[in-house]
Structure 1
Amino acid sequence: MKLLPPALYAALRANHVARGKRLRQGVDRFDPVPLLRLFNPIGAAIWLATEIDEDGVLFGLADLGFGCPELGYFSLEELQSIRLPFGLRIEHDGSFVGCHPLSVYARVATRVGSLLEVERRLHEAAALKGER
C-alpha cells in the first residue's frame, strides 16, 4: 500500500533538498508547513511531515496519543507495514492542508499535549474567523 501519491512525494523530497541547501549555506532555520498528515484510523496517533529523505525517512511531528508529541524522524516503510485490527492500516489524510509552519504545530502540541487538540483548536479558530 502506498501512503504517498507521487506529487506529494516529490514535494516532500524538494523540502528535504531545500533544507540541505540552506544548511550548506549556513542558514539553520528551515520551518516549512507540513505537507503530509498520516493517522491511525482507530487510535489517536498522528504524524505530520515536512520532508522525506532518499531512504524514505520522514521528518516531522509525531503524536502517538500518549500526551507527548515530538519532533523527529520516522520511517515511511515502518508506518506502511503497521497492521491494525479489522484489516486497517495507517492512512494518508488526503484532505489535509497545513496552515502553519511545523514549529507552530509542535509548540502548541507540546503545550496542550495532543496534536488532535491542536487541530481541534485551529479548526475552531478558523470557524470563528469565518463568522466575523
Structure 2
Amino acid sequence: MILLTPDLRYALRANAINRLAALRDDKPEPDPVPVVKLFNPAGAATWLATELDDDEDTLFGLADLGFGCPELGSFSLSEIASVRLPFGLRIERDLDFATPFPLSRWAETARRAGSIIWAEQLLRRAAAHQLRPPKS
C-alpha cells in the first residue's frame, strides 16, 4: 500500500509551509486537522500526521506506539514504511480517515484516554453528538 498519495503529500506539505509562514510572520501557529492516519493492523501503534517536512520523510503529528502515552512529535515515514509485521503485514493507511478535530484536540483526548484508538471512539461520539439536531 502507498502510505502517502500525491494529494496527501501536498496537504501535509501545505500545513508545514503554513506553520513556517506563521512562525516567520510572528503569528500564532495553526492547529490543522490530521491529514492521514497510519496504523499497525496487528497491534496498537497509530500515527496521525499533519505535516511533512521538505525532506519528504519527516512527518509531524501525534504518535502512539501502544504504551499508553501518545506524544506529539516528528516521525520518519521511511522507518514506518520499513516495518515488517507477522504474516507479511505492514503498516497501513486508514483509507476512510477524516476528522473535523484539530491536532490539539486529538492530542488532549488521546492523552486522557491513553491511546489514539480510544480517542478516536470518544471523538466520533463527540462529532455525532454535535451533528444531532437540538431537541424541541
| TM-score, scaled to structure 2 | 0.90
Superposed displacement of residue 123, structure 1:
2.0
* 1:77 aligned onto 2:41: no
State the Cα distance separating 1:124 from its structure 2 match.
Answer: 2.7
1: distance between equivalents of 2:131 and 2:24? 42
Q: Does 1:35 align with 2:46?
A: no
Following superposition of structure 1 onto structure 2, how do residues 1-132 of structure 1 map, counting pairs within 5 Å?
Answer: 2-55=2-55, 56-129=57-130, 132=133
Deviation at 1:45, TM superposition (A): 0.7
For 1:130 and 1:28, locate their aligned partners in 2 and report how far apart those are by CA, in whole Å. Answer: 29
Q: How many residues of Structure 1 are paired with residues of Structure 2 in the alignment?
A: 132
| 1:27 Cα deviation after fit | 1.7
Percent identity of equivalent pairs: 57
- Superposition deviation, residue 126 in structure 1: 3.5
Runs (4 or more) in structure 1 with deviation over 3 Å come to 125-132
- Cα 1:23–1:83 change in 2 (3 A) is same
Q: Which residues of structure 2 form unaligned runs of 5+?
A: none
The CA RMSD measured in Å over matched residues stands at 1.4
